[in-house]
Amino acid sequence: MQGKVIGEGRTAEVLEYAEGTILKLYKDEVPESHVDLEYRISRLVHAQGVNTPQPHERVMEGERHGIVYQQIPGPSLLKLMDGKPWLILSCLRQMAALHYSLHQLEGVGEAGEQKQRLEHNIIAAPMLETGEKSQILSHLARLPDGKKLCHGDFHPDNILMDDKLWVIDWMTAVTGNPAADVARSVIMFRIGAMPERASLFTKAFIGFARQRMTAQYIRKYLKCSGLTRADIEPWILPVAAARLVEGLSIPEKELLVREIRKRLRALPREQ
Ligand SMILES: Nc1ncnc2c1ncn2[C@@H]1O[C@H](COP(=O)(O)OP(=O)(O)OP(=O)(O)O)[C@@H](O)[C@H]1O
Ligand SMILES: [Mg+2]
């Protein structure tokens, strides 16, 4: 029943399946429990009325775990922005408004607790000293808890568009403070490795584009939510540290560590 590959992320390949559906087939290293969790959270979020592809079935294809979802016949925002760069700023504004609309919902029971997830990942993070980790953990403990639905990986490749926007990829959803969820998107826009052989001019251009994109996204989110930059900024430190556990390239991890150390130096002394 499987057809051609139509997408790929860090955890799975996505293939055409029966009429109107796709099969998300997970890579071997993804634990079965994580696939089950994505299935359960996706069902709960779909039942809450969120625009997310309907999860139809949890399946096995040989040894591999999969989920059959409703197919969305449109590109991801990343693909759209890549092909039509003049749409980038409008896509970012729509993305921020969509993010805010998710944050109106209460967290779903199956999702983990945000601070616990961050704490767990900070403790496991490579490249940081133990003393640095304890400073980050005590900073995190002081930040305000929340009870809202947070996606945990809200970036332009996890949003699909046909005549409306659809959010996919709920494995990392948590219940928590929306400001932390926004901080994660901000880090993903702001910090990314540069192509190794790019000229200084290209690097400067990418740097400028990143700043513009981040500014556009934050401005719109703050406008929708009434939050201020001061609500988002303190989350950058713990969220950046927790991101070090992900399968990023070494240059990208080094950029994160540099940002983390800059922010640690700026913490008030008693922290
Ligand atoms: N329901 C769907 N309908 C159409 N295309 C889809 C659907 N789900 C996923 N895709 C395509 O497959 C790509 C990868 O899917 P998905 O984000 O679920 O994988 P992932 O491995 O969990 O990603 P990540 O790297 O964000 O963890 C998407 O960006 C999209 O292009
Ligand atoms: Mg994805």
- CATH code (residue 237): 3.90.1200.10
Q: Which of 54, 157, 166 to mutate to test the pocket of ligand 1 (most atoms within 8 A of CB)?
A: 157
CA distances (Å), origin 219, targets 26, 114, 223: 35, 24, 6
Task: Confirm whether 37 is domain-assigned.
Answer: yes
Answer whether residue 135 is part of any domain: yes
* Residue 88 forms part of a structural domain: yes
CA 22-27-28 angle, to 5 degrees, is 135
Choose one of 14, 25, 165 to mutate for the ligand 1 pocket test, by most ligand atoms within 8 angstroms of C-beta.
14
Q: Which of 44, 70, 96 is the last residue of a domain?
A: 70
Q: For residue 270, is it within any domain?
A: no
- If you measure from the C-alpha of residue 10 to the centroid of ligand 2, how many angstroms do you get, rounded to a whole number? 7
Residue 144: inside a domain, yes or no?
Answer: yes
The pLDDT assigned to 2 comes to 66
pLDDT of residue 192: 80
* Ligand having the closest approach to the CA of 27: 1
**How many CA atoms are closer than 13 Å to the CA of 91, on its beta-carbon side?**
25
Residue-number span of the structural domain to which 145 is assigned: 77-265
Ligand nearest to the CA of residue 14, numbered in listed order: 1
Cα(229)–Cα(103) distance, integer angstroms: 17
Evaluate whether 157 touches 96 at the Cβ level (below 8 Å).
no
Q: Which atom of ligand 1 is nearest to the CA of 11?
A: 21
Residues 108 and 61 in one domain: no
Are 90 and 189 found together in one domain? yes
Q: At which of 70, 89, 112 does a domain end?
A: 70
Question: What is the Å distance from ligand 1's center to 142 Cα?
Answer: 35
Please tell me the residue having the least CA distance from ligand 1 atom 27.
Answer: 10
Is 119 among the domain residues? yes
Looking at the structure, tell me whether residues 180 and 209 fall in a common domain: yes
Q: Are residues 54 and 117 in the same domain?
A: no
Closest residue (by CA) to atom 12 of ligand 1?
A: 7
Which protein residue has the closest C-alpha to ligand 1 atom 2?
71
- Cα of 36 vs centre of ligand 1, distance in Å, is 17
The answer to whether residues 238 and 214 belong to one domain is yes
Do 117 and 233 lie in one domain? The reply is yes
| 93 and 44 housed in the same domain | no
Last residue of a domain, one of 70, 93, 110: 70
**What distance in Å separates the CA atoms of residue 209 and residue 212, rounded to the nearest whole number?**
5
| Residue nearest to ligand 1 atom 18, measured at CA | 169
Q: Tell me the CA–centroid distance for residue 270 and ligand 1, in Å.
A: 44
CATH of the domain at 62: 3.30.200.20
Count of structural domains, the chain: 2
pLDDT tens per residue across all 271 residues of the chain: 668 999 998 899 999 999 999 999 999 999 999 999 999 999 999 999 999 999 999 999 999 999 999 999 999 998 998 889 889 999 999 999 999 999 999 998 889 999 999 999 999 999 999 999 999 999 999 999 999 999 999 999 999 999 999 999 999 999 999 999 999 999 999 998 777 777 888 888 888 889 999 999 999 999 999 999 999 999 999 999 999 999 899 999 999 999 999 999 999 876 4
271 lies in some domain: no
Q: How far is the CA of 15 from the centre of ligand 1 (A)?
A: 10
Greatest Cα pair distance, the chain, in angstroms, is 61
On whether both 85 and 22 belong to a single domain, the answer is: no
Residue 113 lies in a domain: yes
113 and 208 co-located in one domain: yes
For ligand 1, pick from 162, 168, 243, 248 the residue to mutate: most ligand atoms within 8 Å of CB. 168
Give the distance from CA 254 to its chain's centroid: 19
Structure-block tokens of residue 2 = 């499987």
Q: Are 138 and 48 in a shared domain? A: no
- Identify whether residues 54 and 86 lie together within a single domain: no
Cβ(142)–Cβ(115) below 8 Å:
no
Contact residues of ligand 1, CB 6 A cut-off: 6-12, 14, 22, 24, 53, 69-72, 76, 153, 157-158, 160, 168-169
Q: Assess whether 134 and 238 both reside in one domain.
A: yes
